[in-house]
């Protein structure tokens, strides 16, 4: 599948800059597309795609191109645009491929030599001004969504793999003599003890918290009975992770999100250790039977934890690009990750949280099934390519959610469930795909109905005041006063 990304998967090459450098050097030598294509053994159309940033070339091809242009390879790989006009062209191309233009339904402009310089500059300034106004007018919830988008970009650039967190998990497991396999509740407590913490289960834990850590007295307070948790180890491991990673008071909401992702990652790395999971997954790939369910069962974790962990390890150890989705039964995207080119619905700021998911996608179709708890497999044809997904539904206090893991068609041969005949097609974000009601229904009801929406409160409310969003600090401090050991 051809990609329109501006960087390679590792974030090393900006294909738009690379393309403009090749075009600049070609035209400076009075070479046509046909000339360069003949010199490198490629069709002129392929060279054009390379120059327009629509293709991620192999280094071997770039070396041949550099020879044909009589420049060192390093000259092609420079990160600065070759001219001011090229810089503006790159900026406009990048904007047109981003969420701002897509959500405004602005038709793309062909960015080439025929576009007058004054028109190009006007378009670049216009899109910058629109982006500036969106930024200035963003209320607190929008700022939070922006921080989410930035964090998701970082995760994508690293293939959602954090080696330093894997090392932390490895050292902790070695310290308690963990033999491998599932991490028991007792082993979880052993990790806490190794770090100098005693565990205290209480009935009056502050309602806005999952756990409270008393650093002064070496105590971790947890709720009695683990209400609302699908796995009793998770809240304790996340509290331990924050301590191990030296998390301090968040400087802003972006810092808060980063800390949460790191704590969740380390907790999952402890429950599904890399040293055991990577060989397990590689063996499954060799036998063409990769399955999130098998990973879940092998390490005795909830399905969502296994799905998350699969995204951590799939690209790093298996060379498989992947995406993850958690979708509310109401059809809105709760959280997601991708490095496989799938295009999630997003707002003009690039945020995906709360956006409606196409009804044709596996994550929505699974809610229409009579059997919601058996894994469901489906191929979906989308404007960005064909994807295979596996999805299942889980319940929670906030309603039902589908948890989905998917891969591009090229990778499906490694997975159990690839033989499914279920297939759908999505034209989203084209409104006629599923966002607009069928004309006959709209004609009958558009002026005769008034639904009362039930959005998640987090989509509308401003973030609570305080260092830790959503936490009543006074309540926490009073709790600690009640339970602190007498001096």
Q: Are 218 and 197 in contact (CB under 8 A)?
A: yes
Q: What is the mean pLDDT of residues 373-402?
A: 91
pLDDT exceeds cutoff 80 at 452: no
Greater model confidence, 469 or 18: 18
Residue 1 pLDDT level (bands cut at 50, 70, 90): very low
Number of H helices, E strands in the chain: 20, 9
| Segment 405-421, tens digit of pLDDT | 999 999 999 999 999 99
Distance, in Å, from the CA atom of 407 to the CA atom of 373, rounded to the nearest integer, reads 21
Q: Phi and psi of 21, rounded to 5°?
A: -70, -40
pLDDT at residue number 359: 93
Q: Are 380 and 426 in contact (CB under 8 A)?
A: yes
Distance, in Å, from the CA atom of 339 to the CA atom of 337, rounded to the nearest integer, reads 7
Distance, in Å, from the CA atom of 354 to the CA atom of 459, rounded to the nearest integer, reads 7
**Sign of torsion over alpha carbons 133, 138, 144, 145:** negative
pLDDT at residue number 141: 61
> What are the C-alpha distances in Å from 94 to residues 16, 101, 142, 317, 385?
8, 10, 22, 31, 20
Residue 453 pLDDT level (bands cut at 50, 70, 90): low
Which of 125-139, 230-244, 253-267, 301-315 is most confident? Answer: 301-315
Q: What is the mean pLDDT of residues 183-212?
A: 92
């Amino acid at each position: 599948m051809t990609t329109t990304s501006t960087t390679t998967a590792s974030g090393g090459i900006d294909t738009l800059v690379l393309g403009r450098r090749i075009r600049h050097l070609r035209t400076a030598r009075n070479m046509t597309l046909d000339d360069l294509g003949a010199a490198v053994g490629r069709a002129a159309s392929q060279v054009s795609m390379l120059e327009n940033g629509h293709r991620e070339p192999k280094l071997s091809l770039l070396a041949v191109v550099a020879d044909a242009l009589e420049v060192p390879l390093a000259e092609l790989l420079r990160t600065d645009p070759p001219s001011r006009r090229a810089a503006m062209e790159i900026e406009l191309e990048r904007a047109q491929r981003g969420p701002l233009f897509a959500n405004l339904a602005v038709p793309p402009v062909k960015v080439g030599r025929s576009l007058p310089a004054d028109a190009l500059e006007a378009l670049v300034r216009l899109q910058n001004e629109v982006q500036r106004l969106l930024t200035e007018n963003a209320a607190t919830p929008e700022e939070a969504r922006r921080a989410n988008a930035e964090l998701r970009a970082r995760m994508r650039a690293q293939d959602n793999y954090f080696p330093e967190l894997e090392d932390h998990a490895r050292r902790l497991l070695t310290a308690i003599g963990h033999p491998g396999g599932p991490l028991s509740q007792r082993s979880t407590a052993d990790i806490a003890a190794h770090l100098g913490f005693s565990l205290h289960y209480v009935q009056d834990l502050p309602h806005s918290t999952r756990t409270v850590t008393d650093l002064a007295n070496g105590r971790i307070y947890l709720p009695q009975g683990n209400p609302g948790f699908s796995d009793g180890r998770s809240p304790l491991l996340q509290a331990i992770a924050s301590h191990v990673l030296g998390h301090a008071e968040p400087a802003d909401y972006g810092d808060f999100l980063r800390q949460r992702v790191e704590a969740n990652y380390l907790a999952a790395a402890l429950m599904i250790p890399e040293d055991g999971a990577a060989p397990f997954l590689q063996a499954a790939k060799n036998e063409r039977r990769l399955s999130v369910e098998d990973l879940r069962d092998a390490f005795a974790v909830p399905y969502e934890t296994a799905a998350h962990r699969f995204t951590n390890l799939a690209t790093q150890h298996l060379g498989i690009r992947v995406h993850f989705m958690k979708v509310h039964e109401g059809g809105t995207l709760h959280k997601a990750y991708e490095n496989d080119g799938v295009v999630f619905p997003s707002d003009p700021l690039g945020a995906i949280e709360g956006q409606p998911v196409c009804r044709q996608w596996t994550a929505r179709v699974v809610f229409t099934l009579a059997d919601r708890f058996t894994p469901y497999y489906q191929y979906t044809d989308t404007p960005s390519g064909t994807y295979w997904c596996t999805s299942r539904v889980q319940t929670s206090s906030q309603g039902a959610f589908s948890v989905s893991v998917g891969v591009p068609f090229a990778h499906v041969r490694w997975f159990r469930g690839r033989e499914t005949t279920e297939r759908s097609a999505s034209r989203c974000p084209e409104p006629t795909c599923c966002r607009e009601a069928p004309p006959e229904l709209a004609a009958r009801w558009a002026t005769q109905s008034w639904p009362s929406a039930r959005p998640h409160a987090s989509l509308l409310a401003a973030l609570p005041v305080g260092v830790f969003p959503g936490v009543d600090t006074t309540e926490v401090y009073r709790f600690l006063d009640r339970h602190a050991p007498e001096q």
